[in-house]
Chain A
Amino acid sequence: MDGLLYLIPAALLLGLIGLGAFLWAMRSGQFEDLDGAASRILFDDEDR
């Protein structure tokens, strides 16, 4: 049972990282244009 003492915090930490990443992605506007992002990748542009 001792393993729980660090496994549970580790699991929670990983979960929190995921949550943080999602909230960050949302704040930085990555969910604003889902249609555009899907097809934008099809155009290579040497200018950018």
Chain B
Amino acid sequence: MNHIAPHVAVAALGSGACLHCGAPAPDGAAYCCGGCEAAHALIDDLGLDLYYRRRTLDPELRAPRPQDEPAPDYAGFTRATDEGACQLDLAIDGLHCAACVWLIESVLARQPDVTAARVNMSTSRLRLGWRGPVRRGEELAALVRKLGYRVIPFDPSGFRATRSEADRRLLRAMAVAGFAAANVMLLSVAVWAGHSQGMGPATRDMMHWLSALIALPAILYAGRPFFASAFGALRAGRTNMDVPISIGVALAAGMSLVETINGGQHAYFDSAITLLFFLLVGRYLDERARGRARGAVEHLLALQSGTVNVIAADGTLKATPPSQVAAGARIAVAAGERIGIDGVVREGRSDIDTAMVTGETVPQAARPGDAVFAGTINLTAPVTIEATAAGEGTLLAQIVRLMEAAERGRNRYVALADRVSRLYAPVVHLAALATFGFWTLVMGMAWQPALMIAVSVLIITCPCALALAVPVTQVVASARLMRQGILVKSPTALERLQRIDTVVFDKTGTLTVGRPELANAGEIDPQVLRAAATLAAASRHPLAQALLRAAGPVAAASGAREIAGSGMALDTAAGEIRLGSRDFAGDAEAPCRADMELWYAAPGAAPVCFRFRDRLREDAAKVVAELQRRGYAVTLMSGDRRETVAAIAQAVGIEDWQAAVKPQDKAAALAALTAAGRQPLMVGDGLNDGPALAAACASASPATAVDLARNAADVVFQGDRLAPVAEMLAVARRSGAVMRQNLALALLYNLGAVPVAVAGLVTPLVAAVAMSSSSLLVIANALRLRGWRGR
């Protein structure tokens, strides 16, 4: 093997970036950390360094840096297959490009006992199979983690599978309809040509019978999604777009069959089946676009959901899903771990990052007896908590109740297409009835031909283009948004977004990154900064981490110890060095006051103060200004303290702000806005935003939000910027305009066709041309959204 020692390769390259993950490395070092060095050595040893030449790292994604994390419980997710092998499904975080896929598959394939390793790039999932003990899965997963990817086991038999089954059924129906439509159309063209060239009636009848043979089973099979939906709506006493579609298709097929039996001139099998085909294409694309968005959100959820470590009677730890933890159970939470369940601290003292729950950026001290909530992060020291009753009293239960109440209001929203069809269906059916009456009563025609004409009115008005008008636009708009990392989850989200006139932002994690940043770096001696960073490197406290980011990569000081609720201490020959709170390491008299501060005290020197602020998203002020320019009222609503909120509001240029708002007050404020005739968009990320997200007319969450917020939100956006909020509103408005154009086009087409049908002039050729061309026109119009540049 042509093996080059990693260190030699470094000297040759001589760059300042880590050879493995590409992040800046300390001066002269080849790697930013030991994990990257190990990963590089592993790849090199296996002769897979092609990876480094072929890969393209996406700066938006997490760098492939191996991280120390508690390993999840893989054994529970491992399944035994028939041949005595094991199978495990893993969600992978950090896939950048095809080279990552190749690397993971190659590394695993080189393990002698691995029988299958296949990464699905579309869904970022790995299916792993091996021969041997179940526990071997842990080692194999550890191998992938060592390369710098995060892996989370999941159960593929969950609801994700059932959805893709629906997806597949649509695709199969589409394939059948496509096959039948193409062949029936072929026969129909022959019949149309035959009309002018004198095809004999016997040949024509044969063509009709053949068409019936192909079309009828295909319609029965491919039409099921529409028939089922129409039947369900009718039984519930409602009507939707599928009702006129089903009636139109059924009548067209039935009438054509009667004509064929009677040896008549006209059969509409081609219209009926092409109509189904077009509609299925639209529906499949719609389903797929939303399925992909939901899949992506689910993937994000899977990456964060974890197990909690329950302390068993014999003192051992057992990883358990939070839903299976009984009240009163004791749970160990390590420093840096997310708390998975509501509870009360029983042992240990620590600091808790509650930003997700309350919106506060400053961590809070937790002592035995204090309540802690799921979703918060335990920062400084391990604690033992006792799970509280999962009853009505918990914060989560309270918030979920508020959300359910708020959501009931929103479910009343009726999709545009359904609103149109409520008007459309009765009008069309009355028109057909009137046509029948006109021909029989006024013109004295026999009832059979009059019925034919009435039915042809229903066929020509079958809302093909109308049913495509909205979904096609949604597909194009969602695909466009998805390319920018904006995932549209709800089917009516785009329609609701376009009516928005007020945007309500949460502060922490929404307008800001939710991550503190050193504010007074300029006032501090770089030497002191680096010295403080060596202490900070040993802590998970967000301020320590911020200090570390400001100082750049340094090695952690050995021997540093963490004192929960106070800070870090290090014993040196000269005395104790301290980094921590004002009381612990600072000067109580100093005027330097900030919400977030760290003090550094070394023997023989005056204490130094590091001040921090929560950094605004880079483009927050620009996006707020842009929204205001477009005429949106912009509001800031936060659970944080007045001074902090006021400062942020001023920085981004929001005049209307409220601070210290409780979750229920947020929801109430949004309900009040709606009652006042406003259409608010809520943008938030915390547990405390959940009810407000559900109460708003439409809602959006950053991908870093808590599970609950992401589930409640209509739209989830990725990345560190706020621009997606402006973009989704712009695209929604634009798509609203396109939807209305499409509906107008479709209605116009039908209006033009109705007189022809009423006059009894609709032949199968006219019907086929009118339907296909109107559908294509609507699709072409929707496609304009793809290249739209925005304002």
Q: Taking beta carbons and an 8 Å cutoff, which residues of A are in contact with B? A: 1, 4, 8, 11-12, 15-16, 18-19, 22-23, 26, 31-36, 39-40, 42-43, 45, 47-48
Q: Taking beta carbons and an 8 Å cutoff, which residues of B are in contact with A? A: 50, 54, 97-99, 101-102, 106, 109-110, 119-123, 168, 171-172, 175-176, 179, 182-183, 186-187, 200, 203, 206, 210, 214
**When the two chains form their complex, are residues A35 and B121 in contact, meaning their CB atoms are under 8 A apart?**
yes
**When the two chains form their complex, are residues A31 and B98 in contact, meaning their CB atoms are under 8 A apart?**
no
Residues in chain B near residue A23, CB distance under 8 A:
172, 175
Residues in chain B near residue A22, CB distance under 8 A:
175
**When the two chains form their complex, are residues B203 and A1 in contact, meaning their CB atoms are under 8 A apart?**
yes
**When the two chains form their complex, are residues A32 and B122 in contact, meaning their CB atoms are under 8 A apart?**
yes
Q: How far is the CB of A18 from chain B (nearest CB, A)?
A: 7
Residues in chain A near residue B106, CB distance under 8 A:
45, 47
**When the two chains form their complex, are residues A31 and B183 in contact, meaning their CB atoms are under 8 A apart?**
no
**Chain A facing B: main interface SS:** helix
Assembly CA distance A25 to B98 (angstroms): 23
Assembly CA distance A18 to B102 (angstroms): 32
Assembly CA distance A15 to B185 (angstroms): 13
**When the two chains form their complex, are residues A43 and B179 in contact, meaning their CB atoms are under 8 A apart?**
no
> Of B109, B121, B183, which one neighbours A33 at CB under 8 angstroms?
B121
> Of A4, A19, A34, A45, which one neighbours B203 at CB under 8 angstroms?
A4
Assembly CA distance A36 to B120 (angstroms): 6
**When the two chains form their complex, are residues A33 and B120 in contact, meaning their CB atoms are under 8 A apart?**
yes
**When the two chains form their complex, are residues A43 and B119 in contact, meaning their CB atoms are under 8 A apart?**
no
Could you list 19 examples of A-B contacts with CB < 8 Å?
A11-B183, A11-B186, A12-B183, A19-B179, A26-B171, A26-B175, A33-B123, A36-B98, A36-B119, A39-B97, A39-B98, A39-B101, A39-B121, A40-B102, A43-B54, A43-B102, A45-B102, A47-B106, A47-B109
Q: 7 smallest A-B Cβ distances: which pairs?
A: A36-B121, A39-B98, A19-B179, A33-B120, A43-B102, A35-B121, A35-B122
A15-B182, A16-B179 given; A48·B122 CB < 8 A? no
**When the two chains form their complex, are residues B214 and A12 in contact, meaning their CB atoms are under 8 A apart?**
yes
Assembly CA distance A34 to B50 (angstroms): 23
Assembly CA distance A43 to B97 (angstroms): 12
Residues in chain B near residue A16, CB distance under 8 A:
179
**When the two chains form their complex, are residues B210 and A8 in contact, meaning their CB atoms are under 8 A apart?**
yes
- For the complex with contacts A33-B123, A39-B98, A40-B98, 18 further pairs of A-B residues with Cβ separation under 8 Å are A1-B203, A4-B206, A16-B179, A18-B179, A19-B176, A23-B172, A23-B175, A26-B168, A32-B120, A33-B121, A33-B122, A35-B121, A36-B98, A36-B122, A40-B102, A47-B109, A47-B110, A48-B109
Assembly CA distance A31 to B174 (angstroms): 14
A36-B122, A43-B102 given; A31·B210 CB < 8 A? no
Assembly CA distance A18 to B179 (angstroms): 8
Residues in chain A near residue B179, CB distance under 8 A:
15-16, 18-19
Which of A19, A26, A42 has the largest count of B CB atoms less than 10 A from its CB?
A: A19
Residues in chain A near residue B98, CB distance under 8 A:
36, 39-40, 42-43
Q: How far is the CB of B92 from chain A (nearest CB, A)?
A: 12
Closest to A1 in B: B203
Residues in chain B near residue A42, CB distance under 8 A:
54, 98
Residues in chain A near residue B175, CB distance under 8 A:
19, 22-23, 26
Assembly CA distance A42 to B97 (angstroms): 12
Q: How far is the CB of A13 from chain B (nearest CB, A)?
A: 11
Q: How far is the CB of A20 from chain B (nearest CB, A)?
A: 10
Closest to B102 in A: A43
Q: How far is the CB of A42 from chain B (nearest CB, A)?
A: 6
Assembly CA distance A16 to B312 (angstroms): 61
Q: How far is the CB of B152 from chain A (nearest CB, A)?
A: 19
Residues in chain A near residue B203, CB distance under 8 A:
1, 4
Q: How far is the CB of A8 from chain B (nearest CB, A)?
A: 6
Closest to B183 in A: A15
Assembly CA distance A45 to B99 (angstroms): 12
Q: How far is the CB of B220 from chain A (nearest CB, A)?
A: 16
Assembly CA distance A1 to B197 (angstroms): 13
Residues in chain A near residue B54, CB distance under 8 A:
42-43
Assembly CA distance A26 to B182 (angstroms): 20
Residues in chain B near residue A35, CB distance under 8 A:
121-122
Closest to B214 in A: A12
Residues in chain A near residue B176, CB distance under 8 A:
19
Q: How far is the CB of A44 from chain B (nearest CB, A)?
A: 9
Q: How far is the CB of A35 from chain B (nearest CB, A)?
A: 5
Residues in chain A near residue B200, CB distance under 8 A:
1
Assembly CA distance A35 to B50 (angstroms): 21
Residues in chain A near residue B99, CB distance under 8 A:
43
Q: How far is the CB of A11 from chain B (nearest CB, A)?
A: 7
